[in-house]
Amino acid sequence: MSIQTSKIKLSAVEKHFTSARGERQVAVSPLDLEIQSGEFVCLVGPSGCGKTTLINLMAGFEQPSAGSVTIDGRPVSGPDPDHIMIFQDYGLYPWRTVLGNVLFGLQAKGIPAGEARDRALATLELVGLRHAIDKHPHELSGGMKQRVAIARALAVEPSVLFMDEPFAALDAFTRYHLQDELLRLWQETRPTVVFVTHDLDEAIALGQRIVLMAPNPGRIQRVLEVSLPHPRERTRDDFAFFRRELFTEFHLVHQMALQEAEYSI
Amino acid sequence: MSITKSAHNRVLPGFGLTLGYTIFYLSVIVLIPLSALFFKTATLSWGDFVATVISPRVIASFRLTFGAAIAAAVANAVFGTLVAWVLVRYRFPGKKLADALVDLPFALPTAVAGITLATVYSSNGWLGKYLEPLGIKVAFTPLGITVAMVFIGLPFVVRTVQPVLEELEPELEEAAACLGANRWQTIRRVLLPSITPAVITGFALAFARGVGEYGSIIFIAGNMPMKSEITPLLIITKLEQYDYAGATAIASVMLVISFVMLLVINILQKWSRRYAA
Ligand SMILES: Nc1ncnc2c1ncn2[C@@H]1O[C@H](COP(=O)(O)OP(=O)(O)O)[C@@H](O)[C@H]1O
Ligand SMILES: [Mg+2]
């Protein structure tokens, strides 16, 4: 473990925002985190604990107020097609077809049309949307839209996938289905995945490591290794063990947050 | 049977009432005055009507009015979009003031705007004295008419594009940045398609305003028959000569052309919104 160099490294990373009224708000207090190449890490925590801020720092949408974020040893200075963000609201282009959306990144890279098309079709095959390539996003269900977004990301062959609550807007059945799909894609293409969720079960189903965060100020409460092989059977006893573990910890975080809120009133 | 059924299926009551009201209102405000126009026109024989509306002076005024209105609307579609962009995306000192200035052409009495423009662009005016040596004459030319139409049309484009830019989902641009699109690609492939419907709406409004504008144009136009005489002025001239039928004949042709153009723009706009959720 120690010989392996980490893919993503956060050292003493800190982020504060200044509100419109000039108050300084700490979104992420100094924290360290290392993520290995090919690892699947989940960030969980109650809303407002800085999950989005943290993933935005890693993806290059935000710059840290202090400390450093590096990917492959290089400081993250902005968005990069090698590490792609997948959003809860899909971020698809409504005027482009499914195929057109997947082609977007390949066109931006200047890949010749024929090759781009082949690659886009192969990726759409991978996510099971080969039959829907000529549809527009408004004709698709939420789950299909998110699969298009995933295909669009995978088509440019990133080494890291950042996902900020990507399945939060979907119904439970679609969510389970896409979780399994994502695991399959991850096992086939092996990117490093950083996955934000507020759903503890989702984190246990997916993550090799779960980073539990706590609010006020945003920080890491505990890191849990989930030593179960994928795919994980959600009804098994060992799944329930990690579930109990995480829920207990989450309960503590939640109570602390509530108490702090009471004190501050 | 099917009618009563669909009426029962509506969640909100009052469909019949509101539809009736809408038709009544549109009739009183729009349809009755407009049909009066056509009835008055109908007092002319067909031969007289044609002779009136294809007389060279009238044709020249149509060409000028619609040509200048289109040119002004195009200019506004481009520069109004830029203004909206700057107002939404950048913070700078005096931004509130700039934002308020955009509405000025709405509020200013058109005659004031016209006199101001004519003064500023006349050969010894603030701008005219620099343009004249370059061989650009603005006041009392078709160019001046276009300038006046740009002035009064600007807020329409800015105020339709601005809210769309404000509401634009940041994910669309962030996804583009992630996928490796550079700034220019993001503008061309993400921003422009997102705001095109709004720009078309703004264009249509600015165009319609330009065609109908009178007050701010006549001061800068020079009003020379065949050269710088707009159709609304021609209509007024005919009215002053008690040629009501002639005036309404020109007006009804203008109305039909405007209506057809707006219909086309509306269809275009609907088409550009065909993928909206
Ligand atoms: N752009 C911003 N400006 C000001 N405050 C922000 C901004 N982004 C996030 N915050 C604050 O930082 C904290 C963490 O937010 P966020 O990272 O969105 O949490 P989470 O994703 O876990 O719900 C919140 O208190 C939020 O109000
Ligand atoms: Mg969030």
A247: pLDDT confidence band, cut at 50, 70 and 90? confident
Judged against a pLDDT cut of 80, whether residue A32 lies above it is answered with yes
**pLDDT for A264:** 56
B122 with B17, same domain: the answer is: no
**Residue A47 CB less than 6 A away from ligand 1:** yes
Q: Are A110 and A45 found together in one domain? A: no
Pair (A63, A151) in one structural domain:
no
Asked whether residue B96 is assigned to any structural domain, the reply reads yes
User: Which tokens is B29 given?
Assistant: 């405000």
Considering the domain architecture, whether residues A242 and A166 belong to the same structural domain is answered as: yes
pLDDT band at B8 (very low <50, low <70, confident <90, very high): low
Nearest ligand (C-alpha, residue A43) = 1
Q: How many separate domains does chain A show?
A: 2
A154 CA → ligand 2 middle, Å = 23
Cβ atoms of B33 and B40 closer than 8 Å:
no
Domain boundary among A131, A157, A183: A157
Question: How many C-beta atoms lie closer than 10 Å to residue B108's C-beta?
Answer: 16
- Ligand 1: residue whose CA is nearest its atom 4: A17
A83-86 sheet: strands from edge to edge: A83-86, A160-164, A192-197, A40-44, A209-214, A219-225
Instruction: Count structural domains, chain B.
Output: 2
Least-confidence region, from A227-241, B39-53, B97-111, B189-203? A227-241
Is A143 part of any domain? yes
pLDDT at B185 over 90: yes
Residue B185 Cα, gap to closest chain A Cα (Å): 7
A207 falls within a domain: yes
Q: Are residues A103 and A183 in the same domain?
A: no
Same domain, A232 and A128: no
Q: Which amino acid is at A211?
A: V
> How does residue B46 score in pLDDT terms, banded at 50, 70 and 90?
very high
User: Which DSSP letter does residue A168 get?
Assistant: T
With respect to residue A188, please indicate whether it lies within any of the assigned structural domains. yes
Same domain membership, residue B154 and residue B29: no
Pairwise CA distance, residues A188 & A38, whole Å: 11
Q: What is the DSSP letter of B27?
A: I
Return the pLDDT at A262.
Answer: 63
Long-range contacts of A57-64 (CB under 8 A, 24+ apart): A57/A10, A57/A13, A57/A15, A57/A28, A58/A8, A58/A10, A58/A83, A58/A162, A58/A194, A59/A83, A59/A85, A59/A162, A59/B178, A61/A85, A61/B174, A62/A15, A64/A13, A64/A14, A64/A15
Give the ligand 1 atom nearest the CA of A196. 21
Q: Is residue A25 lining ligand 1, measured as CB closer than 6 Å? A: yes
Mean pLDDT value across residues B218-233? 91
The protein residue with its alpha carbon nearest to ligand 1, atom 13, reads: A27
Q: Are residues A119 and A41 in the same domain?
A: no
Range in A41-50, A124-133, A224-233, B58-67 with the lowest mean pLDDT: A224-233
Stretch B89-97: mean pLDDT: 92
Question: A41 touching B, CB under 8 A?
Answer: no
With 0-12 / 13-18 / 19 or more C-beta atoms within 10 angstroms meaning exposed / middle / buried, residue B210 is: buried
Task: Name chain A contacts of B180, Cβ cutoff 8 Å.
Answer: 80-81, 105, 108-109, 156
* B33, B120: one domain: no
Residue A250 pLDDT: 81
pLDDT at A261 over 70: no
A65: its two tokens = 């107020």
With respect to residue A1, please indicate whether it lies within any of the assigned structural domains.
no
Residues of A in Cβ contact (< 8 Å) with B183: none
Q: Is A239 on the interface with B (CB under 8 A)?
A: no
In chain B, the percentage of residues whose pLDDT exceeds 90 is 66
Q: Does the pLDDT at position A201 exceed 60?
A: yes
Q: Is residue A217 part of a domain?
A: yes
Tell me whether residue B150 is in a domain: yes
**Same-domain status, B32 and B116:** no
Kindly state if the Cβ of A51 falls inside 6 Å of ligand 1: yes
Residue A34: strand pairing partners:
A9
Is A51 part of a structural domain of the chain? yes
Q: Could you tell me if B238 and B123 lie in one domain?
A: yes
| pLDDT > 90 fraction of chain A, expressed in percent and rounded | 72
Residues B266, B181 share a domain? yes
Calculate what percentage of chain A has a pLDDT beyond 70: 96
Please determine, for residue A236, whether its predicted confidence score (pLDDT) is greater than 90: no
DSSP symbol at A80: B
In a domain, A45, yes or no: yes
Residues of B in contact with A164 (CB under 8 A): none
Nearest-Cα distance to chain A for B178, in Å, is 5
Do B30 and B159 reside in the same domain of the chain? no
Residue A29 and residue A54 share a domain: yes
For the residues B73-95, what does the mean pLDDT come to?
Answer: 95
The answer to whether residue B226 sits within a structural domain is: yes
Residues B25 and B74 in one domain: no
Domain C-terminal end among A157, A189, A209 = A157
pLDDT in tens, A100-151: 999 999 999 999 999 999 999 999 999 999 999 999 999 999 999 999 999 9
Confidence of residue A238 (pLDDT cuts 50, 70, 90): confident
Do both A114 and A219 map to the same domain? no
Write down the mean pLDDT value for chain B.
90
Binary contact (A89, B277; C-beta < 8 A)? no
Q: Whose CA is nearest to atom 7 of ligand 1?
A: A17
What CA–CA distance (Å, rounded) separates B78 from A42? 46
Q: Is residue B202 part of a domain?
A: yes
pLDDT at B3 over 60: no
Q: Which of A28, A51, A52, A221 to mutate to test the pocket of ligand 1 (most atoms within 8 A of CB)?
A: A52
Distance of CA A31 to the CA centre of its chain: 18
pLDDT given for residue A2 in this prediction:
45
Q: Which one of A76, A80, A92, A93 makes the best mutation probe of the B interface by having the most chain B beta carbons within 10 Å?
A: A93
Q: What is the pLDDT of residue B6?
A: 52
Rounded to whole angstroms, the Cα distance separating A234 from A23 reads 44
Burial of A172 (0-12, 13-18, 19+ CB in 10 A): exposed
Residue B4 sits in the same domain as residue B114: no
Please report the pLDDT score of residue A21 as a whole number. 85
Kindly determine whether residue B175 and residue A156, on different chains, have CB atoms separated by under 8 Å.
no
Residue B220, domain CATH: 1.10.3720.10
In this structure, the answer to whether residues B134 and B159 fall within a common structural domain is yes
Ligand 1 centroid to residue B207 C-alpha, Å: 44
**pLDDT higher than 90, residue B30:** no
- CATH code, domain carrying A179: 3.40.50.300
Question: Which residues form the domain of A187?
Answer: 6-82+161-264
Minimal Cα–Cα distance from B35 to chain A, Å? 41
Q: Which atom of ligand 1 is nearest to the CA of A15?
A: 12
- Looking at the fold, whether A18 and A117 belong to one and the same domain comes out as no
Predicted local distance difference test score (pLDDT) of residue B9: 63
Mean pLDDT of B87-99: 93
Domain range enclosing B99? 45-272
pTM of the model: 0.84
Neighbour count for residue B103 (Cβ, 10 Å): 13
> Residue B72: inside a domain, yes or no?
yes
Task: Provide mean pLDDT across the span A149-157.
Answer: 94
Quick check: is A123 in a domain?
Answer: yes
In a shared domain, residues A187 and A222: yes
Residue B149 lies in a domain: yes
Residue B181 located in a structural domain? yes
How far, in Å, from the CA of A196 to the mean position of ligand 1?
Answer: 14
Q: Which chain A residue is nearest to residue B195, measuring alpha carbons?
A: A95
Q: Are B152 and B213 in contact (CB under 8 A)?
A: yes
B277 domain-assigned? no
Question: Do A200 and A136 share a structural domain?
Answer: no
Q: Cis bond leading into A231, ω under 30°?
A: yes
User: What distance in Å separates the CA atoms of residue A44 and residue A202, rounded to the nearest whole number?
Assistant: 9
Q: What is the pLDDT of residue B277?
A: 58
Domain end position, chosen among A104, A126, A157:
A157
Q: Are residues B174 and B242 in the same domain?
A: yes
pLDDT of residue B1: 41
Q: What is the DSSP letter of A161?
A: E
Distance A49 CA to ligand 1 centre (A): 8
Say which range, A67-71, A90-94, B220-224, has the weakest mean pLDDT: B220-224
Pick from A3-12, A165-174, B148-157, B195-204: least confident: A3-12
Closest ligand 1 atom to A165 CA? 21
Are the beta carbons of B62 and B232 closer than 8 angstroms? no
Within this chain, do residues A189 and A62 fall inside the same structural domain, yes or no? yes
pLDDT given at position B56: 94
Residue B125 sits in the same domain as residue B211? yes
pLDDT at A1: 45
> Per DSSP, which regions of B134-259 are E strands?
none
